[in-house]
Amino acid sequence: MDIERQIIQGNEFKVPSIILKPINSIGAAVIVHGYGGCKEEQLGLAWRVAEIGITTCVIDLRGHGEHELPLDENILLDVETAIKYCHHFGKVVALGHSLGGRLSLLSDADYIIGISPALNKTFSNQTQETLKALRSYRVREINPNVNWDILNKLPQWEYDGSGNVRIFFGSRDVPDIISICSKLKEKGVPIIQIDKALHNDIFLLEETFDNIINQLKEWF
């Protein structure tokens, strides 16, 4: 397997990435971190995905990691730019956590997996204070409220009934996310709860890996 750093060129911006290329690739995955995250913290998941023959591209969103731009409302462009690049390897699954899960669900990928996606337009004061205390110091922002402005202004995701979407959330996830995922599950959206998972570790658990890998094997 080849592992390399790659700068993906967008329209007047660049998306830093790490790409894992299996010898015989059967498709591609774009893995997207959440607010306050970075591409490096998703490399464990990326390795698991690449092991089954999928070329895997882990990116830094603007405002995060090595991305030169501050966090702003054009953040979805980072994901779409990476997906467009990865279509050179075949069909693409977008696989994102939290904010990255919301962006993945709104993307033009062929398949989508949202892990604890931030689907709400507004979040409780407790959630906002927690993110401000524990994650915002890792983000370069144009203003302190830009994350919440982005979530509010992003289009509301609607399930179209297709079989190309899966959502996972943790039994100990952020209350706002548990609530919306539970409601969507009642409406027939394909959602799986990962037992004992927290919001900040769900993408590192064996049960999550197993569910994702099994789904990817079915799609690809």
Residue 144 has a pLDDT of 85
- pLDDT by residue (tens digit) across 176-198? 999 999 999 999 999 999 999 99
CATH number of 2-219: 3.40.50.1820, 3.40.50.720, 3.20.20.140, 3.90.226.10?
Answer: 3.40.50.1820
Distance CA 172, CA 194 (A): 9
Token readout for 39 is 């591409």
State the virtual CA torsion across 77, 21, 113, 163 in degrees, nearest 10.
110
10-residue mean pLDDT profile of the chain (220 residues): values are: 96 97 97 98 98 98 97 97 97 98 98 97 90 92 91 94 95 96 96 97 97 98
- pLDDT by residue (tens digit) across 95-115? 999 999 999 999 999 999 999
φ/ψ of residue 126, rounded to 5 = -65, -45
Q: Confirm if 215 and 191 have CB atoms less than 8 A apart.
A: no
| Prediction pTM value | 0.96
